[in-house]
Amino acid sequence: MSNTTNAAFETLMRFYEAETIYLSPSGGDFGIIAETLDAECVLHQPGSLPYGGEWRGPDGFKGWMEAFGRQWSSLEVKNPQFYPSGEDVIFSRSHVYAVSRPTGRKVDWPLLQFFRVRNNRILELRPFHWDTAAMLPAMRATREDTHAQ
């Protein structure tokens, strides 16, 4: 792992901790995640994915999590590496292993993510999936089935 001592890294670690708690069997309170998100945060997902588009604010992010959950029954992120840029930006590189909820198919892909923070909260998140076209056959759902913004 590279040097990760900027404010964006600390914010990202708080977000991941909150996400882990929220997704645990005893979790469920989205407020712990919302506390790590700026009121004006925006998540940009590739438009080709069933949960694609811009998801705005904590409520939008929660909507994305619900849409994402309709697509993936399990997901594991392996070998994350973090690369800070200034105080408000961090990039992460990892490999994702997932199982499609609609089809049961396993799929994996390299992932690069861009995070920008403001006042110790995530302001922008932009994932770059290596090959969304390879992900789509595993999901086999339409955007309209899952995108309820």
Please list, in sequence order, all residues whose beta carbon lies within 8 angstroms of the beta carbon of residue 59, skipping any fewer than 6 positions away: none
**Residue at 45 is within a domain:** yes
Q: Where are the beta strands (DSSP E) in the chain?
A: 37-45, 53-56, 72-85, 89-100, 106-118, 121-129
Tokens of 93: 């590189």
Per residue in 6-64, pLDDT tens? 888 999 999 989 888 887 777 778 999 999 999 999 999 999 999 999 999 999 999 99
Could you tell me which residue, 70 or 38, shows the higher pLDDT? 38
Read off the pLDDT of each residue in 99-108 and give the average, rounded to a whole number. 91
Q: Is residue 24 part of a domain?
A: yes
Q: Quick check: is 148 in a domain?
A: no
Tokens representing 45 are 């997902």
**Smallest Cα–Cα separation from 51: which of 68, 36, 26?**
68
3 band by pLDDT with thresholds 50, 70 and 90: low
Instruction: Give the model's confidence band at 1: pLDDT under 50 very low, under 70 low, under 90 confident, else very high.
Output: very low
Per-residue pLDDT tens digits for 118-144: 999 999 999 999 888 888 888 875 444
* Model confidence band, residue 149 (pLDDT cutoffs 50, 70, 90): very low
Strands 37-45 and 121-129 turn out to be parallel
Q: In this structure, is residue 147 part of a structural domain?
A: no
Concatenating the DSSP letter of every residue in 47-71 gives: TTSTT-EEEEHHHHHHHHHHHHHHH
The CATH code of the domain that includes 83 is: 3.10.450.50
Q: Write out the residue range of the structural domain in which residue 86 sits.
A: 7-142
pLDDT score for 19? 86
Which pLDDT does position 61 carry in this prediction?
Answer: 95
Task: Identify whether 102 is part of a domain.
Answer: yes
- Total domains, the chain: 1
Pairing, β 89-100 against β 37-45: unpaired
Question: What CA–CA distances, in Å, run from 29 to 12, 51, 60, 135?
Answer: 19, 22, 15, 29
pLDDT of res. 123: 98
The answer to whether residue 2 sits within a structural domain is no
